[in-house]
Amino acid sequence: MTALPGDADARVRTGIPGLDRMLGGGLPRGRPYLISGGSGSGKTLLALSFLLEGLQRGEDVLLVAADEPPGEIVENVRSFGWDLASVKTLDANPGLKAFRRTAAVQEIRTMTDLRSLRDIAEDTKRPEAVEDISIQSIHLKLRQQMAGTPFRRVVVDSMTSIRRFAVRSSNDVQAERTEIQSLLRFLAELDVTTLITVTPGDPGVLAAEEILSRGEILLTRKWIGDRSVRQIKVVRMRGCAHDPERRPFAISPQGLVVG
């Protein structure tokens, strides 16, 4: 697979060389992108590779964790030999207790403070108090934190879960779109490259992040007999040439590898 032409200086490497070749050198800097795929497809692993690459380049990086508690994330990548302990994390995961509740308010008291994955992994206690979770509240918290720390990479994992656990599940599509647009514009204006993981929903309905993002990378996984076949595809990427073909990838002892 040959590299496509592009301005390498304006690209942000993902930490996955094969994917960077598909992107002509990496993601165009300072824009939001979708990482889509079903459960177990490798979305979070790709996103964490992106953050690890930033750490290795001396950048400040941030994870908004809604799918899994941060402590579990540390454990899940330990087998790869990755050190993500210094990743700053906004913990928006409601925890197991919240999954069993029917009340609208979910437990995310830890959203009041940004902490490193190292600190969160050492503290497994969750408080009894509750706090609002919504796209707007996450935006406000990021705005506060960005005033003091110039994060260059942000991962939201995942927008699907944020919607699911939101205190205010809005039926106003335009209001939700405005909130997401405001968040993504804020990050783009600060030259932050953002990855947003999503689980595909109704193909006949475009979610706000699908409309507002500048590109999408799709991960798929299917079984052929007793063999798992994984593929990756750059579905769209505004403003730059890219490899549009589906390419096989594997999850190796070193992480995600595009072949």
| Domains identified in the chain and CATH numbers | 8-258 (3.40.50.300)
Q: Are 176 and 84 in contact (CB under 8 A)?
A: no
Q: Determine the angle formed by the axes of helices 135-146 and 173-189, rounding to 10 degrees.
A: 10
Hey, which residues does 157 pair with through a beta bridge?
65, 197
At residue 127, the pLDDT reads 44
Which of 117-121, 157-161, 222-226 is predicted least confidently? 117-121
CB neighbours of residue 81 within 10 Å:
9
Task: Say which residue, 166 or 144, is predicted with more confidence.
Answer: 144
Average pLDDT of the chain is 82
Q: What is the pTM of this model?
A: 0.83
Contact 247, 220 (CB under 8 A): no
Percent above pLDDT 70 for the chain: 79
Cβ burial, residue 24 (10 Å; 0-12/13-18/19+) = buried
pLDDT per position as a tens digit, 144-153: 888 888 899 9
Over residues 186-194, the mean pLDDT reads 94
pLDDT for 170 equals 54
Task: Say if residue 143 is exposed, middle or buried (CB neighbours under 10 Å; 0-12, 13-18, 19+).
Answer: middle
Residue 57 predicted with pLDDT over 90? yes
